[in-house]
Chains A and B, each alone.
Chain A
């Protein structure tokens, strides 16, 4: 009698343990989002597209996946003026970790600022002349030398890029010796494409 109780209890315990594992575990393909400040982002995983609104700090796909199922999160469509990437946990196997936790990071698109210069010739004795252009206090500067010019003309580009939507304003911080340079198209707002229409013209003083 005693033994049969014991075996009954053991059977029950085994059944309970099995039930515990039972019914395949479901995992949500999800993650956090950093820096999303515009609409238009669409993430994709397993054929499901997930539009994500501006300002969202997390995402979760509707369809859950079984334990052991591989997943892959991709950026299907970029938001306006920004570029997002799945910077960690883009792919894996459900259940490898307790939960799926991918990270999507977004940053404002940035474009170069540049243009052409003319009249920047070397001095009469052959020494190179340089001028320094400035994009405000925080936008960096670019030094242009007559040594890199062909007949005093050439292209220049600022080392620092300008974010989409940000203003720029270029002035001549340092004039070349004996020349006076002026900037045309020096101010504007960066939008969608690189700016390459700045014109710097130098004339003898």
Chain B
């Protein structure tokens, strides 16, 4: 009789202890912030590898909260489940044991993929041509063989989804050059944009 009481008591105690530690019965919201370098791209999904919860992120969202609550000392490991198209995201403060000092500070940083911006100058004969994409400048010298095309590349890359607009800051001697409007201004796509055309004519 005595021993069966003891057993029942032990079982109860075990149950209480287990439920105290129990997964999913906590009250801590695993959450954090998302910062963007360049345009926010679609497709990001996070995962808490410790409990398997996946969380798709609304494009452009700057905060996120996992729906499964964590208990004190429950481990979490937030990773990128799916990278957005055209950007790369990294996580920090993402692996720890859950408590009020750890669960709210997962930091995700997404950087839109940079691409090269450039193109071809046609008909350039004079020296002094300077092309600009805002403050980013490139000087273009005439070709060794008169009449040949000259390619140019802006020094600064442009992020996927960011706009660009090339202008002629300085005209070459004796000529007037102009950007062809077909691709300029425009928005950087998912690959390098080396197709800008600048046409030069003699004055």
Contact = CB atoms under 8 A, between A and B. Distances in A.
A139 interface: yes
Interface residues of B, number: 21
Interface in A159-205: 162-163, 166-173, 186-189
A138 B167 contact: no
A167 B185 contact: no
Interface in A126-173: 134-139, 141, 162-163, 166-173
Interface string B152-183: 00001011001111111100000000000000
Given A134-B163, A137-B117, A187 B135 contact: no
Contact of B165 (A162, A163, A166, A171): A171
Interface residues of A, number: 21
Contact of A138 (B137, B156, B166, B184): B156
A137 B167 contact: no
B135 A141 contact: no
A189 to B, nearest CB: 7
Contact of A137 (B137, B162, B168, B169): B162
Main secondary structure of the interface of B (DSSP, over half): strand
B133 A137 contact: yes
A134 B156 CA distance: 16
Contacts of A169: 132-134, 165-167, 169
Given A136-B135, A139-B135, A171 B117 contact: no
Contact of A171 (B136, B137, B159, B184): B184
A188 B135 CA distance: 9
B163 A187 contact: no
Contacts of B165: 134-137, 169-171, 173
Contact of A170 (B158, B164, B167): B167
Nearest to A172: B185
A139 B169 CA distance: 15
A140 to B, nearest CB: 9
A81 to B, nearest CB: 15
B134 A139 contact: yes
A163 B164 CA distance: 19
Contact of B133 (A136, A141, A172, A186): A136
A32 to B, nearest CB: 29
A187 B165 CA distance: 11
6 contacts: A134-B134, A138-B134, A168-B132, A169-B166, A173-B185, A186-B167
Give the 8 A-B residue pairs with the shortest CB-CB distance, closest first.
A136-B134, A171-B165, A169-B167, A139-B134, A169-B132, A171-B185, A136-B133, A187-B167
